Amino acid sequence: MISPYGSRQSRADYIDRRLAELYPETPVPLDHQDAYTLLVAVLLSAQCTDKRVNLVTPELWVLADNPAAMANVPVAKIQAVIRPCGLSPQKAKAISRLSQLLMEHHDGEVPWTFAELEALPGVGHKTASVVMAQAFGEPAFPVDTHIHRLAQRWKLTSGKNVEQTERDLKKLFPREHWNQLHLRIIFYGREHCTAHSCDGTKCEICRTLFPDRKRGVKTRK
């Protein structure tokens, strides 16, 4: 069978339509109340599941749920609470210091630019992208391991690194779809096209796009 999805753009257009059908609603997986609590939750999610972060953050917000309060919490106390998320020494120091910097340089508010966000401790481009997209509604396309893996399986990118994947995806999808689409790809990846349940040959979208694919796709990190 010859697939009608022979080009990157035709595959992207199909994926955009199908994921919108499967996931019309796109709730943010990390529980939060505002830009600051989202920023901290995303920072905690590095090498940790959203589910575990959501179990940990309620106790953290009891300690402090705003930069002014968090800046005064001893790092050891923060670390004790967030230990289940992994990398707790680094993450606790980053949460403490970024809270202090928000008070010192941003009047206690989370800044609304990539440059200012990425200047904060523990905040890389992906974390900044999530905050810009989900807290401020600015078009962004955060690429995590789920999206990087699926973009390769769907041949939307040559996938040498997440930076290249982000650039390629931004070219293929309408700017106004980015914020919802990155969540839809994550939802689909977790539900149907995981690292273990699909290798690029088994889930609905993989089979639709590549009906003649015989071998699994080896993801390049």
Structure tokens of 148?
């990087």
Which residues neighbour 83 within 8 Å (Cβ) at sequence distance 6 or greater?
none
| Angle at CA of residue 58, ends 55 and 64, nearest 5° | 140
Q: Is the Cβ–Cβ distance between 207 and 197 less than 8 Å?
A: no
> Which residues are catalytic, by number?
126, 144
DSSP string, 46-104: TTS-HHHHHHHHHHHHHH-SSHHHHTTS-HHHHHHHHGGGS-HHHHHHHHHHHHHHHHH
Interior CA angle at 201 toward 23 and 177, to 5°? 30
Q: Where are the alpha helices (DSSP H) in the chain?
A: 8-22, 35-44, 50-63, 67-70, 75-82, 88-105, 114-118, 125-134, 145-153, 162-172, 178-191, 204-209
